Each structure stands twice: as structure tokens, then as C-alpha cells.
Amino acid sequence: MMKFKPNQTRTYDGEGFKRRAACLCFHSEAEDEVLLVSSSRHPDQWIVPGGGMEPEEEPCGAAVREVYEEAGVKGKLGRLLGIFEHNQDRKHRTYVYTLIVTEMLEDWEDSVNIGRKRKWFKVDEAIRVLQSHKPVHAEYLRRLTNTCNPTCSPVYNTSSCNAPSSQVTDNSPPLTVLFAPHRAQI
């Protein structure tokens, strides 16, 4: 199913979830520094770059495209960290990958068009920054501790991915994480 909006087409899966993709962009394979971008709606807040999939687009291709548009970076696509479902206000199903940054553009689409900024954070600092306004994005980073880094599993090329030079490391079947904010218990 598709829904058209000015300048974009939203795609939904059979269960009514908006199809999204994102990347945790790392400075190196150590995965200790992650790149966040300023929110288009709230420029003083940081988010993980990602967005909606185009019709017929594979999740890995959408993730690479989104980080190029939003963060102005290119890199080596890594493993699928998980598939995160967010049901609070909007039904989103987001495929989250890792990406090792190999190139950073000085000017990129969202920096020119909407003044988006980017900044490197230590992973624990990024979790703190994201927790208050984007807890599901903080959960992406928490998931890192439950997966191995790209050096612990074989690399294979994905022929179905429309990001031509990307490589994906698969260390286990994709994990679907149903996200529900933590509530204080009495």
C-alpha cells in the first residue's frame, strides 16, 4: 500500500506499518562513536538518520539513501541490527543497519535545504541524548550490546540490495524489537 504526500511517497506493509530504514553511522569498526543529525522538526534535538522507503525499494538501499540525504555520508553498509516496531503515535516498522562512514560531504541535501547539522557522539552519550525525545532511537543503540560487530561473522554481497557496492554482514536472523516506552512501576 502507498500513500502520496507532497514530495514523497509513503509505503506501508501488509500490516499497516509505515516502511522505514535507518543506519547507525559509525566513525570506525570499533562502533564507539555514532553520527547523529539534527531533527528537521526540532533543530535543537538529535536523531538517528533514517526515513521512509520508496516503492519497490529494499530496506538496505533505503537506509543508504536516507543517510546520504540526511547526514551527507557514504560508507560500508554492515549488519542488519534489527527491525524495530513503534506503535505509540504512528505505526512504524524500521529496518536498522550499521554503516562505517568512509566519506563525509561538506555540503549535502538536508544541510543546504533545511540547515540540518550532524555531530559525532560516544555511544553512551548518544543514548542519553536520544532517550528523552526519541527513546526508540536510543533503543537502536542499546541493541548494539546484544549483537557482535562486523568482524565476528562472514560478509556476503546482497544481490537484492539496490545499494550497489554495499556489503551486509549477517550474524543472525533479523530481530524484531517491539518498542514500548518504560513506565515507572509503583
Q: Where along the chain do its domains lie?
A: 18-148
The answer to whether 131 and 45 have CB atoms below 8 angstroms apart is no
Short-list 93, 62, 98, 52, CA closest to 176:
93
| Mean pLDDT score of the chain | 79
SS3 108: coil
* Better-predicted residue by pLDDT, 166 or 69: 69
Q: Please give the model's pTM, rounded to 2 decimal places.
A: 0.77
Q: How far apart are CA 67 and CA 25, in angstroms?
A: 8
Residue 148: per-residue pLDDT: 57
Of 77-91, 121-135, 156-170, give the lowest mean pLDDT range. 156-170
- As a whole number of angstroms, the distance between CA 137 and CA 87 comes to 14
What pLDDT is attached to residue 66?
96
Q: Find the catalytic residue in 33, 54, 69, 109.
A: 69
Fold of the 18-148 domain: Nucleoside Triphosphate Pyrophosphohydrolase (3.90.79)
Residue 23 has pLDDT above 90, yes or no: yes
Band of pLDDT at residue 11, cut at 50, 70 and 90: confident
Asked about 69 being catalytic, the answer comes back as yes
Name the β-bridge partners of 35: 25, 120
